[in-house]
Structures are given as structure tokens and as C-alpha cells.
Amino acid sequence: MKILITGGAGFIGSHLCDSLLELNHNIVVVDNLILGKLENINHLIGTNRFRFIEEDLLNLDKLKEIFKENSFEMVYHLAANSDIQKGGKDPEVDYNLTFKTTFNVLQCMKEFNVKKLFFASTSAIYGETSELLTENFGPLNPVSNYGAGKLASEAFISAFSATYNIQTWITRFPNVVGERFTHGVIYDFIHKLKSNPLELTVLGNGEQNKPYLYVKDLIEGILFVYNNSHEQFNVYNLGSYTRTKVKEIAQMVIDEMGLNATINYTGGDRGWVGDVPEFKYDLTKINRLGWEAKTNSNDSVRIAIQKALGE
Ligand SMILES: NC(=O)c1ccc[n+]([C@@H]2O[C@H](COP(=O)([O-])OP(=O)(O)OC[C@H]3O[C@@H](n4cnc5c(N)ncnc54)[C@H](O)[C@@H]3O)[C@@H](O)[C@H]2O)c1
């Protein structure tokens, strides 16, 4: 298939490029590199069946030109804001990068008759609740602008899917970790410890407890859902039942770096406003479809630390 991957120069998007190219698809990446990096896809540039276009999805005229020139059969829409704290300080960030990019992609899909869409969604759409999160949990009250931007995106995708007959696969990721990550708790801890190996300041009380998923498992899960779920509108949580506390991650990073740093906690039950300190997915739906993550949360974290230190 001829496939557009938005955000393909980012952490997850670049792994998706690798896997879809291995499956012999033709890939066009559109990314403005606002958060992604050329080094994530440098190994692909110049190879057969891969093209990188540096462009802002918010430029609708340019995006239409790209759709016009390429007869895409499917879009994997991954471009979004991944700096959730920045989005909390300035609501325009998620309105534009998380929501409006989606809306522009949908407009182009409608105009140029592209009938298949994958969308990278998130646990953040569920908001803050101690309940087990099934795909049909509600009401959905996100507590971050990022979560709101993703939920609004899902709503328009649902409407476009029904109105313009676009078959859709949405997967809601947990925290994803692994090679080429550009952000997140492990990334932060490693950078802080590189600048001060004696002390690590952790945002919150360290008790935040979430599932972490290794990026290679995630990509396998995305492709599994696409190949095995055939409704018009397909929605799945992706992850594992295992979780890791932030204080455990801090200790793992210190150990893997061979340091003896003290850990200071800023206190409070969350790292920042909009952070959800705990959540737990119900994975019955994806497990019944036949997929389970190979790597548990703690191992995903450890692999990600080791890969980051080895890179
Ligand atoms: N990493 C996670 O833990 C996680 C969890 C849940 C959901 N997700 C979702 O998965 C997707 C990929 O996330 P990631 O972790 O790889 O983040 P990332 O920041 O590495 O990738 C996002 C990419 O989108 C690009 N982008 C953003 N705005 C753009 C615009 N206006 N025009 C063109 N390109 C633009 C960025 O440059 C970047 O390369 C995102 O949609 C994210 O919301 C990620």
C-alpha cells in the first residue's frame, strides 16, 4: 500500500516506518521536526519506497498538495504534541498540534478519498479515575489539554468514519518507552543524572504507578489490530496489566548508570498539573483478539534505560 505516516520522524512513528517498510509498503512521512528528529529516519532516507517531506500539517494548502501528488491508500496519523507539560502552560499547543493536525488530515482524507486511517490515541482521554479502563468507559473527562485534544480528535474521526466511510483503527497507548524516545520520565531522569550524578529530583512523591510498554511490542500490537480487527470503527487499549512506580524507575536508572545518587521528591501525588498519577487498562478486548504484550512493564522500563545508555 501507499501509506502516509504523519509524525514519522518521531519516536514511535520512526519505528512504525521501519516495520511498514519491512512489509514492503511505500511510505511517505510528513513531519515538521518540531519534536521529531531526522536522525530517527536517517537510515531510511534515500532508500526505496521511502520519502520524507518536511512540512507542517497545519499548512492545509501544502498538505492538500501532498495528498494530491500521492494517491495514499492509508494514513497512520501519529503527529501530535508529546510535551504534555508544555501543552498545560499554553492551551494553543494541544489545540493545534494534537487536535488541528487531526482535523486537517481528516479534511484531506475526505477530499482525496482515502478510506483507511490509523490513529494513535492515549490513556489520557479517560481522565482521572481509579476504575479499570475498558474501551467503552465513560463519561470521558480528560484532565490535560493533551487528553482533550486526543478526545476531540477521536470524536471527529468517529464522525468522519461514519459520514465519509473511512475505516478506522484507533489504539490507545499507555506510556511507551524504548529506543529513540524523545521525552518521558526515563529520558528526563537520564538527562538530569548526566548533569548531576549525585542527586535526582523526582516530580511528585514517586508513587505514580502506570503501565509502560516497550515500543517494539507497541508496533507489533498496532499491526496486529490492523490485521485482525475488521469493523468499520475499531478501538483498542494497548498495554499490559503490569505497572511500574516512578520511584522504581528512578532507582533503575540510577542502578543502570552505576551511580549512587540520592533521590529527592518534590511531593504531592502527581508530577504536574494534568498528570494522571495512576491508571489501569482493561485489556480483555485486545487479549481476546489474540494479542498480549511480550514484555512486562518493569522489563520495558529496564530495556529502555539500557538502550538509551547504549545509544
Ligand atoms: N510516547 C508515548 O508514551 C505515547 C503515549 C500515548 C500516545 N502517544 C501518541 O503517539 C504518537 C507518537 O508519539 P511519540 O511519543 O512518538 O512523540 P514524538 O513527539 O516523538 O512524535 C510526534 C511527531 O509529530 C511531529 N509533529 C507534531 N506536530 C506536527 C505538525 N504540526 N506537523 C508535522 N509534524 C508534527 C513531531 O515533530 C514528532 O516527530 C503521538 O500521537 C502521541 O500522542 C504516545
Residue 266: predicted pLDDT: 95
Residue 272: predicted pLDDT: 80
DSSP label at residue 249: H
Top mutation candidate among 4, 5, 6, 11 for ligand 1, by most atoms within 8 Å of CB: 11
- Cα distance between residue 10 and residue 41, in whole Å: 9
| Same domain membership, residue 216 and residue 194 | no
Its pTM stands at 0.97
Residue 79: left (phi > 0), alpha (psi -120 to 50), or beta? beta
Atom of ligand 1 nearest to the CA of 57: 32
DSSP label at residue 93: H
| Same domain membership, residue 261 and residue 147 | no
| Same domain membership, residue 138 and residue 33 | yes
How many domains does the chain fold into? 2
The residues, any chain, with a CB within 8 Å of residue 227's CB and separated by 6 or more, are none
| Same domain membership, residue 116 and residue 222 | yes
Q: How many angstroms from the chain centroid is the CA of residue 61? A: 26
| Same domain membership, residue 162 and residue 20 | yes
Half-sphere exposure of 234 (CA within 13 A, CB side): 24
Q: Which domain range does residue 204 map to?
A: 178-211+241-280+295-310
**285 lies in some domain:** no
Residue 276: predicted pLDDT: 87
pLDDT along the chain (311 residues), means of 10: 98 98 98 97 96 98 98 98 94 98 98 98 95 96 97 98 98 96 93 97 95 98 98 97 97 97 94 85 98 98 96 62
Q: Whose CA is nearest to atom 18 of ligand 1?
A: 10
Residue 260: predicted pLDDT: 96
| Same domain membership, residue 217 and residue 69 | yes
Q: Whose CA is nearest to atom 2 of ligand 1?
A: 176
| Same domain membership, residue 12 and residue 97 | yes
Top mutation candidate among 39, 78, 86 for ligand 1, by most atoms within 8 Å of CB: 78
Residue 311: predicted pLDDT: 62
| Same domain membership, residue 188 and residue 137 | no
Top mutation candidate among 28, 59, 82, 86 for ligand 1, by most atoms within 8 Å of CB: 82
| Same domain membership, residue 130 and residue 250 | no
Cell of 269: 501525588
- Cα distance between residue 140 and residue 19, in whole Å: 32
Our CA dihedral for 129, 119, 146, 83, rounded to 10 degrees, sits at 120
| Same domain membership, residue 117 and residue 189 | no
